[in-house]
Every structure is written in structure tokens, then in C-alpha cells.
Amino acid sequence: MGKVVLNSTVSLDGFIADAQDQPGSLFEWLLGGDVPLDESGLLKVSQVSFDHTRPYWDSIGATVVGRHVFDLTDGWGGQPPGGVPHVVVVTHRPPPDGWDREAPFTFAGSIQQAMERAQELAGDRVVEVAAGDVGGQVFAAGLVDEVRMDMVPVVLGAGKRYFGAVHAEHLLRDPDVVLQGSRVLHLCYPVRR
């Protein structure tokens, strides 16, 4: 079974989106470099960010997201983002009308079902969990091995929290990755067990 990683870009004050549910300037680091991060050529980062991010993206076997993210992105048009092979969506609702049943997306009714399915799909590769409400639930359930943050020099003041509605103390180990890219600080914290 692969490692489970909670991941997102985050503001200095702990938000993954602003109060209007928009990323605002959180993703500037993905556009301000000179090294293409993917085949589209739209995402360009510093060499440090590329060397950190691309191998991670390549290690992902499945990503778990909530229905809210799925709806905001229109299901990425049926194509998982960043070359991820599978997406598992936590939802109590059926797929949208007209959804391509052959697209590599699975819909699960609970965090537990989503994580089981994601681990089946990922095998020994990484299961990435998108930060936010669903990510916070997976984290609070003790299912996360590593917290990965791309922290940017932005203060949003309000919005969607990285850990969602986690209301208890959780201890992490010292970061085993601290890298400064252009307009971003890459951090990885192993979760204390």
C-alpha cells in the first residue's frame, strides 16, 4: 500500500481558497517560472519547484477530492489533473447527468469507501488527498502519512481552510522537506503516529 499524502497550495494564514471560493493569487508560483511543469506548457515554475513537484506528481496513483472541488472544476472535463491516473470523489450524490462512465473517476459515499478504493487503484503508489473539508476528515481519521504544503507569500484573511474543520490537536514531525522556490515554500511534514 502506498503512502497517503494531504496536499495543497496554502496561504500563510492557512487558506486554500478565498472567501468567494477562488484561489486568488495562490497559484502564481505555478505560472511565474521558466521550467514547464507539464506537457501543456501553461504551468511554468522555478527549477527548484519543478524538481520537487514533478516527481511527486509522477508518484500519484489516485487523488481523493470532495464533490465540491469536482463540481468547481467541472470534473476536469473527465481528465484527471496533472496526469493522475484516477480520481476518487467523496459524495452522496450520483455523477452528473451525461457523465462519461468510462472516465477514470470513482464516486464513493464516505471517506472510508473513498480511501479503500483509492488505495486499491493506487497500489503501491501515492494516494493524494486534496486539502480542505474532505482532506481534514481523512487527516482527523488518522489516515494521512504526510502533510505536504506549497506555502505562498499571501495572506487571504478568510476562506477555505487547509485542514477544513479539524478541531483537535494533531502532532506532526519536523519537516523532512523545506525548499524555497520562486514565490513558494515547499514543506513536507511526516505525521506523528
The CATH number for 70's domain is: 3.40.430.10
pLDDT, tens digit, 9 for 90 and up, residues 89-105: 999 999 999 999 999 99
Q: How confident is the model at residue 115 (pLDDT cuts 50, 70, 90)?
A: very high
Name the domain count of the chain.
Answer: 1
The answer to whether 130 and 63 have CB atoms below 8 angstroms apart is yes
The rounded distance, in Å, linking the Cα atoms of 114 and 155 is: 32
The answer to whether 180 and 52 have CB atoms below 8 angstroms apart is no
pLDDT at 39 over 90: no
Element (H, E) at 71: helix 67-72
pLDDT score at 173: 97
In angstroms, how far is the first alpha carbon of the chain from the final one? 17
SS3 of residue 64 by DSSP: strand
The rounded distance, in Å, linking the Cα atoms of 178 and 84 is: 24
pLDDT, tens digit, 9 for 90 and up, residues 13-32: 999 999 999 999 999 999 99
Task: Identify any residues that bridge with 87 across adjacent strands, giving them in sequence order.
Answer: 63, 105
Q: What range does the domain containing 83 cover?
A: 4-190
The mean pLDDT value of the chain amounts to: 96
> Average pLDDT for residues 117-137, to the nearest whole number?
97
Q: How confident is the model at residue 82 (pLDDT cuts 50, 70, 90)?
A: confident
Q: How confident is the model at residue 58 (pLDDT cuts 50, 70, 90)?
A: very high
